[in-house]
Amino acid sequence: MVKQNRKTKIVCSLGPSSFNDDVVRDMILAGMNVARVNFSHGTHESHGSSIERVKRLSKELGVHVAILLDTKGPEIRTGMVKDDGKVIINKNDLVAVTVDGCLTAAAQGQKPACISISWKDAPAKLKKGHFVLVADGLLELEVLDVKNGVINCKANNTAEIGSKKNVNLIGIHARLPIMSEQDKKDIEFGVKMEVDYIAASFLSFPYEVVQIKKYLKELNASTKVIAKIECGDGVDNIREIVQAADGAMVARGDLGVQLPTEQIPLVQKQIISACRKAGKPVITATQMLESMVVNPRPTRAELTDVANAIFDGTDAVMLSGETANGAYPVEAVQMMDKIARTVEQSQEFQDRMKSIRDECFSDDHNPGENLGINMSRSGVDISSSVNAKAIVTPSLGGNTARLLSVFRPAQPVLAVTPNFKAMREMQLYWGVVPCHAPIADEAESMIQNSMRIASETGAASLSDKIVLVAGLPLQSPNMVNTVRVIILGTILARSSSGGYANPDITRVRGKIINATSPADAREKIMFFGGEILACRVLTKDYIPIVRIVKGVICEEISEISDSDLHDTNSDLVWLTHIRHTTEKLESGLNVTIDAKELLVYEGTV
């Protein structure tokens, strides 16, 4: 199991630069938490190969990585250039924008330049004063008038453009369906490939999220939806959108085209804040380490940009071209990891995270979450006040882990779940370390699993405090109703002698069987189970019991020799001469016995 002490998650885009096992393996080891597959390019075959590669290498390395499918979304594009070449549109050229599929051509004498676009309603919807931006805003066209189905424009700058370039509109919303037929095919393909997130492009209104979730329901899928905020309408409706979605992405590329560039830093903070108020994760994306597409090191401005997003409290930072097409994909992940760790270790960052807690969940939310939200906040506050090493939360679906994550605790959140899908989804949640454990059949077993994992991950050591945040009993209708401070490995008893049959097994864990006789032990095992026999004197009559237990704790002496104990059970661990054993150790109590240290610990160590 990998110990991760970086709280901000890293999303990496896959592409030609990461189309081989060695690169993807190194990206996972460098800290990739979520792999993004961009369906604006490529085929189902190539995307399927990328998804399979991540899943296979993730399993090989024992590191869970979520898969995010980024849809093409509603888009408008220009037509073709002759011979798929390039044309130059000069400043002040008149440009005839049509919907008839004409080739893109430069102005010639009195004849205006010609560009066809794919939005068939353009002549009826565009008016004087609207702007048409081509190729990520490389070319700006100002609408002068519309006559006979032709949109007459003036070029406000000089630009060279090629075929099939994207088109953005300023001053009007095209109202295209949020899912094209191709998008539906892509989403269906993603569901079959068991992707974890759908990043829905160009979301403007909350009802569009509802439409996507309805389509997913038709596919019998519960895939989570991340709303990509890429236009002014999306920003204006951000509060309602994040309530409907499972998270958001600050897609700064298209935002920089749709909005004045100088507003982007403020909009980024606005979107991050809206997600915090709604209790949803947020990804900050686009050109974060852009220079690393060609250079082995980022610029100082890029380093500062990433750091500022982390200071703002983003759940994740995203690499786009850096890992999809760049010359240094692994180095880009390593650099992002270094920046995040450095920022998170600063006192300024820790103070900032504390200061934003009152803002969390301040927007309207599902009343059914109220108890869970309040208990999660209490768990975070208590963890801080008792100086706990970790917060542990058993969770089937990861929702409690999300609630805890929103409050940005200083401690890692160890989310214990039997659900591999939930483990992958939680890779997007700030500060959450997903941990796998079989489903517990009772509350005490669940607590012991949590303690064991806190110890095994290295998050906490003996005598450290951990805070358990859970819904108890397991069948409780409340998501979270319990916050408990646990001291890991409280010593219950010390022994003066003991031993083990197998030098590789010197410590065992299990439930106590406190028996007054072999018959009593057999009856208790039959009805209640148990793995550690506790008795006053270990007589030879107990040998049938010794064969089936993991360990023995004896209050006085063992009448069975060490060699006979070894021969009876080749994995047995035993302790003798522990005073008041039968008084201290009740049946059903979970303990760990250590034959090297001659100690009995409470719980799982």
E-assigned strand segments in 51-138: 66-70, 76-77, 87-89, 94-98, 113-116, 131-134
pLDDT interval class at 479 (50, 70, 90): confident
The domain covering 9-73+178-348 belongs, at the CATH homologous superfamily level, to Phosphoenolpyruvate-binding domains (3.20.20.60)
Instruction: Return the minimum-mean-pLDDT range out of 118-127, 209-218, 470-479.
Output: 470-479
Q: Is 286 a catalytic residue?
A: yes
What separation, in Å, do the N-terminal and C-terminal C-alpha atoms of the chain show?
Answer: 16
Tens of pLDDT along 30-87? 999 999 999 988 999 999 999 999 999 999 999 999 999 999 999 899 999 999 999 9
In SS3 terms, 373-442 reads as HHHHHHHHHHHHHCCCCEEEEECCCCHHHHHHHHCCCCCCEEEEECCHHHHHHHHHCCCEEEEECCCCCC
Tens of pLDDT along 443-453? 667 777 777 78
491-602: CATH topology: Glucose Oxidase; domain 1 (3.50.30)
pLDDT at 3: 47
Q: Is 36 a catalytic residue?
A: yes
How do the domains of the chain map onto residue ranges?
Answer: 9-73+178-348, 76-170, 366-486, 491-602
Q: Is 59 a catalytic residue?
A: no
The pLDDT of residue 125 is above 50: yes
Instruction: Quote the CA–CA distance of 292 and 209 in Å, as a whole number.
Output: 34
Q: What is the mean pLDDT of residues 308-329?
A: 97
Q: Is 297 a catalytic residue?
A: no
* Architecture of the 76-170 domain: Beta Barrel (2.40)
The pLDDT of residue 437 is above 90: no
CATH of 366-486, one of 3.30.413.10, 3.40.50.11540, 3.90.230.10, 3.40.1380.20: 3.40.1380.20
The token pair at 96 is: 């005839």
- Catalytic choice (9, 25, 36, 377): 36
- Catalytic choice (7, 165, 228, 276): 228
pLDDT interval class at 424 (50, 70, 90): very high
- Catalytic choice (72, 77, 125, 269): 77
pLDDT at 1: 41
- Catalytic choice (223, 284, 286, 576): 286
The pLDDT of residue 477 is above 70: no
488 vs 239, which has greater pLDDT? 239
